[in-house]
Amino acid sequence: MKCPPPAKDPRYARQIPIIGEEGQEKLSKSKVAIVGLGGLGSITSQYLAAAGVGELIIIDSDVVEDNNLNRQLLYDTPSIGLPKAPIAARRLKSLNPCTEIKWYQGKLTEENIDEVIGEVDLILDCLDNWETRLVLDDYSWRKGIPLLHAAVEQFYGQIYFSIPGKTACLRCIAPRQDTKREGGIPVIGAGVGVIASLQALIAIQYLVGVYKEPGTLILVDSKRGSIDKIRIDPSACRCSTL
Ligand SMILES: [Zn+2]
């Protein structure tokens, strides 16, 4: 398929009045890694592809399970038992053929992260464990790539946007112990969608150059419908040279 110039593509006609033709061009030149294609990554990847981000690198190590389907809207019943990343890639390509999709099916580690992610403008943490999150955080700081973290449990979620050299890193707001729990983290699909949509929206704002609040911990209570924001002092980062 031949892709029209992004600013003239009718696909984006309803968002260009908000982000401008220049913003749309910036999106089309952006490269974003989405790590984790579960409840959060299912939604963020679709919104970023639909919005016209130029290239997505999508990463997951799991196969689709029946208990994923209450929230992981990239997959359907016939996908059960199949690896997530290639299915997601096909779905996203079908949603927007003008977004280039690269996928990696496997666990992200310190050893392979340079090769798998490489140079991108932004990394989205859509994971469900802190072990891999901290691998992402280290990579983000080593390469100077902004990292947009999100996590969710029950009705609650958090988002934190770390920019190396400007904000505190993710490690400094991480819990001391990763909690692994039998049966996975309890969530309602729509509740995950609230956090994922906000994460995608912040990513788009950042890529078009209008996001103003990196370094702020956003706490969402989707049961009460409330959002609280806590500014994290960059000097609280114990591992940076700020
Ligand atoms: Zn730190």
Q: Domain for residue 142, yes or no? A: yes
Q: How far is the CA of 237 from the centre of ligand 1 (A)?
A: 4
Q: How far is the CA of 145 from the centre of ligand 1 (A)?
A: 15
Q: Tell me what pLDDT residue 236 has.
A: 80
Q: Tally Cβ neighbours within 10 Å of residue 184.
A: 12
Q: Tell me what pLDDT residue 73 has.
A: 96
Q: Tell me what pLDDT residue 240 has.
A: 59
Q: How far is the CA of 108 from the centre of ligand 1 (A)?
A: 21
Q: How far is the CA of 127 from the centre of ligand 1 (A)?
A: 19
Q: How far is the CA of 185 from the centre of ligand 1 (A)?
A: 26
Q: How far is the CA of 31 from the centre of ligand 1 (A)?
A: 25
pTM passes above 0.85: yes
H helices, E strands: number in the chain? 6, 8
| Domain enclosing residue 94, as ranges | 6-236
Q: Tell me what pLDDT residue 161 has.
A: 97
Q: How far is the CA of 165 from the centre of ligand 1 (A)?
A: 10
Kind of pairing between the strands at 31-35 and 122-125: parallel
Q: Give the C-alpha separation, 241 to 232, whole Å.
A: 16
Q: How far is the CA of 41 from the centre of ligand 1 (A)?
A: 25
Q: Give the C-alpha separation, 142 to 29, whole Å.
A: 23
Q: What is the DSSP letter of 62?
A: P
Q: How far is the CA of 121 from the centre of ligand 1 (A)?
A: 20
Q: Give the DSSP H/E element, type plus range, for residue 161.
A: strand 156-162
How many domains does the chain contain in total? 1
Q: What is the CATH number of the domain that holds 50?
A: 3.40.50.720
Phi then psi dihedrals of residue 182, to 5 deg: -60, 130
Q: Tell me what pLDDT residue 1 has.
A: 77
Q: How far is the CA of 140 from the centre of ligand 1 (A)?
A: 12
How does pLDDT run across 82-113, given as a tens digit for each residue? 999 999 999 999 999 999 999 999 999 999 99
Question: Whats the size of the chain, residue-wise?
Answer: 242
Q: How far is the CA of 171 from the centre of ligand 1 (A)?
A: 5
Q: Tell me what pLDDT residue 122 has.
A: 98
Kind of pairing between the strands at 216-221 and 226-231: antiparallel
Counting Cβ atoms within 10 Å, is residue 36 exposed (0-12), middle (13-18) or buried (19+)? buried
pLDDT, one tens digit for every residue, the chain (242 residues): 789 999 999 999 999 999 999 999 999 999 999 999 999 999 999 999 999 999 999 999 999 999 999 999 999 999 999 999 999 999 999 999 999 999 999 999 999 999 999 999 999 999 999 999 999 999 999 999 999 999 999 999 999 999 999 999 999 888 777 667 777 889 999 999 999 999 999 999 999 999 999 999 999 999 999 999 999 999 888 775 54
- Letter for the amino acid at 125? D
Q: How far is the CA of 170 from the centre of ligand 1 (A)?
A: 6
Q: Give the C-alpha separation, 242 to 238, whole Å.
A: 9
Within 13 Å and on the Cβ side, how many CA atoms surround 137? 23
Q: How far is the CA of 231 from the centre of ligand 1 (A)?
A: 15
Q: Domain for residue 14, yes or no? A: yes
Closest CA to 189 of 69, 71, 50: 71
How does pLDDT run across 139-157, given as a tens digit for each residue? 999 999 999 999 999 999 9
**CA 112 from chain center: how many Å?**
19
Q: Domain for residue 119, yes or no? A: yes
Give just the sign of the alpha carbon dihedral 50, 51, 56, 59.
negative
C-beta of residue 24 within 8 angstroms of C-beta of residue 13: no
Q: What is the DSSP letter of 192?
A: H
Q: How far is the CA of 234 from the centre of ligand 1 (A)?
A: 8
Q: How far is the CA of 6 from the centre of ligand 1 (A)?
A: 38
